[in-house]
Chains A and B, each alone.
Chain A
Amino acid sequence: MDQLTLAQARSWIDATASVIAENAPHLSELDQAIGDGDHGANMTRGFTAVVKKLTDGAKTDDLGGLFKLVGMTLLSSVGGASGPLYGGFFLDLGKQCAGKQTLDAQALTAVLESGLNDIKRRGKAEIGDKTMVDALTPAIEAMKAASHDVTSATRAAAETARDAATKTAPLLARKGRASYLGERSIGHEDPGANSMALLLGALAGVCHE
């Protein structure tokens, strides 16, 4: 597959909503260990609101419009830190994709990398801080190294992110509420890295079909 189309991007958002809802108890359980236990519920509320807007017929003529709608909706419905981080991420994707109907693998990688930089700027997080950055950063590197078709690039991103999310367990949290626990944050996977891995998994899923 050479291009991610608008229809597929729309499917990606639907698939993300489903997989987030399915995994909400797991995400909340991870968050309960080192945070306040609401990550699953908050993300589910956000993506449910997004899907409702799309189903109700919100007009999205291009990828830019779609991602902007996702971003604005997450911003006003998720709350916590994940709202601004995921909301800002999709708003940035929206800006990068203004007027675009499709993205090839290289363009998709560049767009996701720009979104990553938005998350890092807003959350003041770097790799190794035990956040969603730890899943997205290596995933983007894997996309760059993968062959230039969307199917294999997104599959590489999904597999790498999945693996990277589990590898956040031994890290000492330096951002967000988990950082208040100090050494006690060690031994638990980061919930944000896990939800990011789900998002990329859903992307690989729709690009494989």
Chain B
Amino acid sequence: MKKLINSPEDVVREELEGIQLAHGDRLRVSFDPFYIVRKDAPVKGKVGLLSGGGSGHEPMHGGFVGAGMLDAACPGHVFTSPTPDQMFEAGKAINGGAGVLQIVKNYTGDVMNFDLAAEMLHEEGIDVATVLTDDDVAVKDSLYTAGRRGVGLTVLMEKLLGAAAQKGMPLSEMKALGDQIRASGRSMGMALTPCTVPHLGKPSFELGENEMEVGIGIHGEPGRHRVPVASADEITEMLMEPILSDLPFHRGEQIILFVNGMGGTPLIELYIVYRKAAQIAEKHGLKISRNLIGSYITSLEMAGASITALRADDALLALWDAPVNTPALRWGV
């Protein structure tokens, strides 16, 4: 294992120390328990937006803390859900009297830990609502699985709900908007290489020189199918067709199209993927009203990409365009 780390045990703490030093003008980092919070929290009268998850997906979630997006983020150990005490303390720190909305990716551990935190915050007299993301079409949503995984849509959800909260939308409407976004977005991802969790020291799965995994999540877990490596255009088709047919998206609709790198794929390749994805969207009669291209929800150094399409109306586009000022996403300021 070759990594730019000091020791596997210190990875998350030392990352947080770096974030504190780099962005201390806007953010405050709590080290016991771990969470990142807007420096001006709690913002009085505004719904506090809370998210979190395992580390290793940077810049998500800590990089999205700031005006117009998250109020706080709780990092767990690498690829491991954070714990209820973190969310409880972060939730208290961001409650400006209008309640707290939790954005939770649909993984068994995340859901259980955020549920416990919601109970604890509720007992503290704080209004709490939760929105799930479960946009990964590679996983069948059935009684016999843990349900679809939350992946790329989470980034868009955090931006859009962050803007809504900043405009003063009350908690109940935020929850309804979150559910609407959840129902309107779909994603799928693939990997060319596995990734190595620092404390494990070896890759999460083995891939031959000419193999790739299609249908991966964001935790280095193997996907649903292992197939021979194909061209960028063919891979993009393998991702786009299931995404577009799942919702389904209809001709004439507007979408936000998000091409995401898994951590080890350069922007030059992501634009090649975007090129084909845009052609496919056009073929289906979809209008790409906004786009996002870059590595925003990653799986350590994994090479690969995911695509997310979100059906959008003018109200959502206005929220998308609203100012955002975070370490990883910044415009309009």
Contacts and interface: CB of A to CB of B under 8 A. Distances in A.
Nearest to B136: A180
B116 interface: yes
A41 B12 CA distance: 15
B222 A83 contact: no
Contacts of A76: 33, 83-85
Contacts of B204: 32, 36-37
B81 A177 contact: no
A90 B116 CA distance: 15
Given A76-B83, A79-B81, A177-B219, A123 B112 contact: yes
B77 A36 contact: no
A81 B85 contact: no
Contact of A179 (B77, B82, B138, B145): B145
B149 to A, nearest CB: 7
Given A75-B116, A83-B113, A177 B221 contact: yes
A176 B217 CA distance: 13
Contacts, number: 107
Contacts of B109: 79-84, 176
Interface in B209-231: 217, 219-222, 224
A194 interface: no
A182 interface: yes
Given A75-B85, A75-B116, A79-B81, A176 B221 contact: no
Interface string B221-246: 11010000000000000000000000
A76 to B, nearest CB: 4
A177 B204 CA distance: 14
Given A76-B85, A175-B146, A28 B200 contact: yes
Interface size class of A (residues with CB under 8 A): 20 to 34
Interface size of B as a range: 35 or more
Most buried by A among B107, B109, B138: B109
A35 B217 CA distance: 11
Given A76-B83, A76-B85, A81 B108 contact: yes
A85 interface: yes
B137 to A, nearest CB: 12
Contacts of A28: 200
B145 A36 contact: no
Contacts of A13: none
Given A32-B200, A84-B112, A176-B108, A182 B85 contact: no
B290 interface: no
B77 A42 contact: yes
B172 interface: no
Contacts of A174: 144-145
B227 to A, nearest CB: 14
Contact of A176 (B54, B83, B146): B146
- The 6 A-B pairs at the shortest CB distance, nearest first, are namely A81-B109, A80-B109, A84-B112, A179-B145, A79-B80, A81-B108
Given A36-B219, A83-B81, A179-B145, 12 more contacts: A38-B197, A42-B80, A75-B83, A77-B83, A79-B77, A80-B76, A84-B109, A84-B112, A176-B109, A177-B108, A181-B222, A184-B224
Interface of A: 28, 32, 35-38, 41-42, 45, 75-85, 122-123, 172, 174-177, 179-182, 184
